[in-house]
Structure 1
């Protein structure tokens, strides 16, 4: 089957990008002809994966987004694909995957926290967000797709509530994880090396936060909770892996809270598995995440998780391997961080964490997704003009 995976950017980092790479590699390995339709790309995730670069002239982020969506519409009309899979910010697809959830929900619950204090005060217009919302309305309107794939039940409920549509055409496939790259066996090697670099003794608790876009991911809440954590465990450390233009703001916040000596910022890293291997607890108090990959990566590494109920990945976290708190509640977060300090509890949770992730490999995700692709391709052969987005 000739399959187009459509996303503006192909790279080794980023949640949607990593999902696309993993899916493309698995599909190519199974014999499909996979074409990544993008504006920019790095290295192909598999020797048989090809690129179709669509790069219309555009000035500014908003215009780039809109012009790419228009160019994809034209490209699909002039090309021969058995299946077109949209991965965000386009409206021409047979299958649309909501890897980032509904943009409208992100704007409601998290976007304000990503803006600088000056931007929030001035309330400047944001054409990029307006364009993204306009594309989403068109992409998710009833009849605009043959199948929508959500990566959590949270997103499925949100999609149907916001945009309507046929529930039978909306499926849930949780994200997959590389069970070799993220594994408890790395703790004795990579984990020990990272802890040595940080000057941590074996008994010193290390809380890991992974994510870019600190406001959205709730780093401010974790910094507030770290005050209570340090009061109980003075040698506890918080490791922040990820990037954000507002990083100096969060460094000042840590200093003002009196926990600057407990918090280490690494910036963006491509070897994030090393930090999972070193962690005793993973914490992501996100304000909105369709399914934060780092949550599943922590579980696969045998690390218990504390996250919020605004993270779709909370669906794979139970009391045996972690805790789920209300989004936005620093006191609840602090309580759970302290509750997970006992080494005996964390050791007991390690096996349950790995078990929770074990059935959610990238290969298993790709196999289920391929089954859905087969179903849609068969429908498309029988009813080639039934999807409005592909008739325009």
Structure 2
């Protein structure tokens, strides 16, 4: 079969983009042809993919997204057997991979004026096209927290929602030579055994709570702060956060790195992952840290935060968020004698739980739905 995938933009360091590629490659591995619709692709293109670049028009993101959808629909209208898998909410999808939280729920906090905008109307319509009772789209959810939220607004039937296990790449798992890698890493960056390295990973610095993290580092006791470094990896605008760090007096502690493919080295070399997100459907990096044996400090709004509690491998700051709670937790974790226990707990948990099979399970459902669509089209 030919399986069509719709992804508005591809770049190699986005979590959604990585999930798309792993799922599409798994589908290809099982013998299916892969057709991809996108507007741009950064990085290497997989062998054997038929990638169609669509030039979209419009003076706003939501209008361009609609134009993207209309072009896909026009291309596939004469191919009734081809199932369409979307990684953005769009009308006409057979399967939707739900990497985003519920838009209508988030919009409630923006006030009534926002809900009068064309942006709101378009994105609400896109989401309704996927989750409404009248839709036929099957959704693949990666966060159990989101199922009741979508159903609250759209009353989506249970049979159209499938919850996937996490899909952590095995290359994130702690290797046998982890200590040697850690020593080499810390030597490379001039870190002694007494120094503390806090790590934050993820594009979208505002949503991930980088401002909160900067304030927490700045609040550390002077003696601890002097021997603490804060590394941030991700693709986003650095300037406002560098300015905040200067105002907080930790400009010398904070170091930015662009998106990179050696994140596992950083996970092994650091002493703590901080992820105080404002809003996070899953928080894949939480599990990447867990399987690497790195203790985590995060917020309970992250869909995967419960795994940190389940594994007893760090601290989850509860809602409603209080900066002081994050500050105190950071100081406590950096000085706690429980650090080794957190690491051991994380490693043991990573060997016991299924944190890895998302691409395979997603592929199972996609192929099942695609076969049903093909059989139905043949019958007609």
Q: Mark yes or no: TM-score above 0.5.
A: yes
Change (3 A) 1:156 1:29: same
**1:16 to partner: Cα distance:** 0.9
Change (3 A) 1:181 1:380: same
Match of 2:89 in 1: 89
**CA deviations over 1:225-268 (Å, ceiling 9, x no partner):** 113334462312221112322x2222222222222222222233
Q: Distance in 1 between matches of 2:193 and 2:118?
A: 49
**CA deviations over 1:131-162 (Å, ceiling 9, x no partner):** 43432233322232342111111111211112
**The residue matched to 1:291 in structure 2 has which SS?**
coil
Q: Distance in 1 between matches of 2:45 and 2:305?
A: 28
**The residue matched to 1:139 in structure 2 has which SS?**
helix
**The residue matched to 1:55 in structure 2 has which SS?**
coil
Return the match for 1:240 from 232, 245, 249: 232
Q: Distance in 1 between matches of 2:117 and 2:181?
A: 42
Q: Is the 8 A contact 1:184 1:277 kept in 2?
A: no
1:338 to 2:331 alignment: yes
1:10-49, aligned counterparts within 5 Å? Answer: 10-42=10-42, 46-49=46-49
1:151 to 2:145 alignment: no
Q: Distance in 2 between matches of 1:349 and 1:229?
A: 21
Q: Distance in 2 between matches of 1:192 and 1:10?
A: 34
- RMSD of aligned Cα (Å): 2.9
Residue segments in structure 2 that go unaligned for 5+ positions in a row = none
1:184-223, aligned counterparts within 5 Å? Answer: 184-185=175-176, 187-188=178-179, 190-223=181-214
1:324 to 2:316 alignment: yes
Q: Distance in 1 between matches of 2:59 and 2:248?
A: 41
**1:188 to partner: Cα distance:** 3.8
Q: Is the 8 A contact 1:230 1:236 kept in 2?
A: no
Q: Is the 8 A contact 1:90 1:139 kept in 2?
A: yes
Return the match for 1:349 from 339, 342, 355: 342
**CA deviations over 1:267-317 (Å, ceiling 9, x no partner):** 333432232221111111111111122112111221111111111111322
Q: Distance in 1 between matches of 2:135 and 2:141?
A: 15
Q: Distance in 2 between matches of 1:147 and 1:338?
A: 44
Q: Distance in 2 between matches of 1:312 and 1:252?
A: 30
Change (3 A) 1:57 1:251: closer
Q: Is the 8 A contact 1:28 1:46 kept in 2?
A: no
Q: Is the 8 A contact 2:5 2:35 kept in 1?
A: yes
TM-score by length of 1: 0.84
Q: Is the 8 A contact 1:38 1:51 kept in 2?
A: yes
Match of 2:290 in 1: 299
Q: Distance in 1 between matches of 2:158 and 2:334?
A: 42
Return the match for 2:242 from 241, 246, 251: 251
Q: Is the 8 A contact 1:19 1:175 kept in 2?
A: no
Change (3 A) 1:236 1:371: same
**1:36 to partner: Cα distance:** 1.9
**The residue matched to 2:70 in structure 1 has which SS?**
helix
**The residue matched to 1:199 in structure 2 has which SS?**
coil
Q: Distance in 2 between matches of 1:5 and 1:46?
A: 14
1:380 to 2:340 alignment: no
Q: Distance in 1 between matches of 2:253 and 2:100?
A: 31
Q: Is the 8 A contact 1:8 1:37 kept in 2?
A: yes
Change (3 A) 1:150 1:346: same
Q: Distance in 2 between matches of 1:49 and 1:189?
A: 38
Q: Distance in 2 between matches of 1:11 and 1:349?
A: 33
Match of 1:368 in 2: 361
Q: Distance in 2 between matches of 1:133 and 1:197?
A: 49
